[in-house]
A and B are shown apart, each in its own frame.
Chain A
Amino acid sequence: MLVSIYRYNPETDDKPAMQDIEVEIPAGKDLMVLDVLALAKEKDPSVAYRRSCREGVCGSDGMNINGTNGLACITPISEAVKPGQKLVLRPLPGLPVIRDLVVDLAIFYKQFEKVKPFLINDEPAPAIERLQSPEDRAKLDGLYECILCACCSTNCPSFWWNPDKFIGPAGLLQAYRFLADSRDTAAAERLADLDDPFSVFRCRGIMNCVAVCPKGLNPTRAIGHIRSMLISQGT
């Protein structure tokens, strides 16, 4: 199988280039893209990419696989490539490339930080723990599972155009995760911080985020909920 990999070292290269590497896939096996990448790295050890858990939990190996963002470790090549096509691997779009498939996620984390992704509760702490009803806990399902792989935000044109101002789907999913938490008491302040033309409202609802989320989450729905909360507070 032919694998085409984006190669770029900003310190030595003038511009990025695609490198084709021929990889032998064991007969009858449907490897994950990450395994194919490891085979390619055996041929050319200078290929750089991030990986860690190799089972879709750590979110390190988010990359653009044949035009679609995804986690290399849980994307089988049968799903990523049509028969006869080559596997094309590029870094997550819209972020500065550090080297090859490794991108600088600083601005992505900065947006995540902006939504204060931690529980705020100014009431005195109870002796043991803050209890939550099973119904209230259920509201966090579909929100807390995000692994911050950045596949969604880097697939969002609004995030490409304004990565410094638009929080992006990943950050907004986490914003709603704490807005929806019955134990959090800072909803009004959180909403006030989001009521500008960029942070939330740059989302145009094209649902690219939903299409690529490797965990099957729905940031567009969470953004809709934030909008509804802003409307009920502001009207």
Chain B
Amino acid sequence: MMIIQKNHIRGLASAGKRMDGRKEDDFREIKIETGVIENAEGSAKVSVGKTEIIAGVKMNIGEPFPDRPDEGILMTGAEFSPLASFEFETGPPSEDAIELARVVDRGIRESHMIDNKKLCIAEGEKVWMVFVDIHILNHDGNLLDCAALAAAAALGHAKFPKYDGEKIEFGEKTDKGLPITCKPIAVTLTKVGEKLLTDATFEEEGASDVKLTVTTKDDGNICAIQKSGSGPLAFSEIEKAFEISVRKGKELRKLLE
């Protein structure tokens, strides 16, 4: 990225301004559409500005992990399709894609968004496995918040497939939803110059060397944190990030209702 462009973005930030006229802690326009993929048990297409992501939920039956015989299994994956950005290449998931999937996964897992015990069919033998797949359609920054929102929306909307105790009738959904207990929301603060920007664009991310993602629950508790990027953060910045994440998390959670 051109140095003058980085300097320009940093200069704006220090004056409390942004390229697209937003305030420091403003999100771009968010659109959430659920049930976009009929073949999936749950799905959501979420756009944040020009960033667009589809999350799909598929379910199946499998054996539980030996150390948790009475709990269902949740798995989250992400693909950075080369369709979504000139930066993405074909091939196995990149470090960034794996990091994104794992941070979204931690938010869902640690918040106990899904009551895993209720996914148990026969202890030690059969449990429901829930796969959340995140697919990026267009990358204009802040993939993580958008992906977490899409995953939460898709899970919230998902319905169990028909199951007769023997096999699953894929494509035939029941009206029973997943046992959802709360809605974790990820909010990422991107440090540009000396400022922490909410919902950074692709260009703003290019002018930054560190960001902090804080995932919060409905009760305001934190369930996942990820510092990403090679720059350092001061304690005072972390404090500020917590305050913004809790506040913005409440706003975003309303969009899922």
A binds B: no
The interface of chain A, by Cβ under 8 A from chain B, is none
